[in-house]
A and B are shown apart, each in its own frame.
Chain A
Amino acid sequence: MTALAPLTALIAAVAASVPTVAASPAAVPLSAEYTLPFVGPGTYLIFGIVLAPVYAMVAAWFLGDPSDRFAGLLGVGYLAGLTTVLWGSLFVATLIIGAVFF
């Protein structure tokens, strides 16, 4: 038994150093979602990947050749203005619904 004592101690030390594997397999993260810092995966997916072509587009409006500051700002104005009109009109409609029916 005494001959095995160092080996037992080594196993115990290894187990202690990797507690999630040796002591509790359930503690291993089940999904990559917990490995992303700060915000959930949707934020990275939508704003990092899906909308990336839009960022490239807007950058090209100002950086490429030929480009023009007024035309670029007009384009950005359309993007921001149309988004505002779209959701702003729904907001106004909601206020009207609230005032008329509730």
Chain B
Amino acid sequence: MSVDGVDVTGVDRDTLTRPIRSFSTRYIAALAVALGLIGVWLFFYSRQLRHGLIVTNLADWGSGGGVPWGLYIGAFIWWVGIAHGGIILSAAVRLLGMDTYQPVARLAELLTIAALTCAGIFILIHVGRPDRLVTSVLPAWPTRVQWSPLMWDVTVITAYFVLTATYLALTIRYDVTRLRDRLPDRLEPLYSALTVGYTEREDEVVERMVWWIAFAIIIMAPLLLHGGVIPWLFSLLPSMAGWAGGVQGPSFLSIALTSAVAGIIIVAAAFRYAYGWEELIPRAVFQGLAKWLGFFSLIFLWLQLQQVITGIFAAPTTLQHATEVKISTPLYWVAIGLVVLAMLYAFATALRPDLFDLRALVGISVGVLFGTLTEKVLFVVEGLQHAHFALYDGVPGQYVPSAVEISAVLGTIGVVVLFFLVVSKVIPVVELHAIEDHEEVDA
């Protein structure tokens, strides 16, 4: 496996399973931080459950400048976007044969599951009473799926989650069977369930099955979910000038892919640092990911340019107004600036590899995640505030995310950290295939 100078086949199985077998104060510290973030969120969320959405700035048309969709929905889109990292890497490895990225493919798939869970959490908390997902959404689904983009969204995100989890469940059978002697005995019932009916004869069949899962997801998730159903939640509403138009599909997708690569870089760098995996996840993997980040940032910026130019040059009155508001918002330019920085850094380090620094790349990736979240929240909020009709002109106040909403973003970040901390103690977070191309399967 020596594409682009990346060859990790010299890494042994003990290194691969190091997260499962080791336990450190750093792990406890990370666990404490994750639980702390979740605790802060649960404290605020308990207030929301007790008093209702009035404790947020999303209560109804009568507060926060008439914005019933704000940080919750912006964060929902953001998390679904980050989730796309899994399929990007799986597609690169399975469909395109880019084995360079195999050491981080499973980390990315796990990020997909964690991020989709967080996206679901935002829907759950935004509907007010959490049982409404069952008492309202499920009974209405058979009829409303015919007409409602909200129901399309629920349907396709469920499919995305299930496909990704199935992908993981099928690929993990190979690894668990061969690494069983290095896995904890107390989890034997779980490993037995995961590998039920396993025989070596299935390897070839399962490899083909997961190729088809990657194929199905690469069409469904980026193109038809984040470039389709999710932007349709907005772009099918012609009453909101800032939301309408076919450009929202590709624009949403470009933002998703940019944030997804940033998310993978952060997660992979964290594992590399925590477990001394310099050999398993070499620098060349991050240099490759940096190029992807630069390319997706370029597409992101190009589509923003399309929207701004068509919005301010002889545009319909309401679209022009919405665009003028957008480009006069300082935070918008902060978001754009962070993505420009990422693009310039990626291209600069591609031209001059000696400029590459992993810590700088991680910092820039954090900036990209902040920028993409900001852009999405502004899109949602300003789209509502500057509609074709003047419904909100008399609505007092201006939307600013409340502490309850901000705590939810922090809490979901804590959920993702906790997810990785727990999962990395149970299953190998790097595929065995990454190190065994030149070794005997059962060596």
Bound form: Cα–Cα A98–B135 in Å: 11
A86→B169 contact, CB < 8 A: no
A42→B206 contact, CB < 8 A: no
Bound form: Cα–Cα A51–B209 in Å: 17
A93→B166 contact, CB < 8 A: no
A86→B213 contact, CB < 8 A: no
Contact of B202 among A46, A53, A68, A90 (CB under 8 A): A68
Chain A 6-41 interface 0/1 with B at a Cβ cutoff of 8 Å (1 = within): 000000000000000000000000000000000111
A66→B205 contact, CB < 8 A: yes
Q: Which residues on the A side are within 8 Å of B209 (C-beta)?
A: 61, 71-72, 75
A67→B208 contact, CB < 8 A: yes
Contact of A70 among B147, B202, B215 (CB under 8 A): B202
A53→B220 contact, CB < 8 A: yes
B166→A75 contact, CB < 8 A: yes
What is the chain B residue whose CB lies nearest that of A102? B131
What is the chain B residue whose CB lies nearest that of A91? B134
A73 to chain B, nearest CB (A): 10
Most buried by A among B158, B162, B169: B162
Bound form: Cα–Cα A43–B147 in Å: 8
A50→B224 contact, CB < 8 A: yes
Q: Which residues on the B side are within 8 Å of A60 (C-beta)?
A: 208, 212
What is the chain B residue whose CB lies nearest that of A49? B224
> Which residues of B136-195 are within 8 A (CB) of A?
138, 145-149, 151-152, 155-156, 158-159, 161-163, 165-166, 169-170
Chain A positions within 8 Å of B, measured between CB atoms, are: 39-43, 45-46, 49-51, 53-54, 56-57, 60-61, 64, 66-68, 70-72, 74-75, 78-79, 82-83, 86-87, 90-91, 93-94, 97-98
Told that A50-B225, A51-B156 touch, could you supply 19 new A-B pairs with CB distance under 8 A?
Answer: A39-B146, A41-B147, A42-B149, A46-B156, A51-B159, A54-B163, A56-B212, A57-B215, A60-B212, A64-B212, A66-B205, A67-B208, A71-B206, A71-B209, A83-B158, A86-B158, A86-B161, A93-B130, A97-B130
- The 6 lowest CB-CB distance pairs between A and B, nearest first, are A40-B146, A57-B216, A53-B216, A94-B134, A94-B131, A78-B166
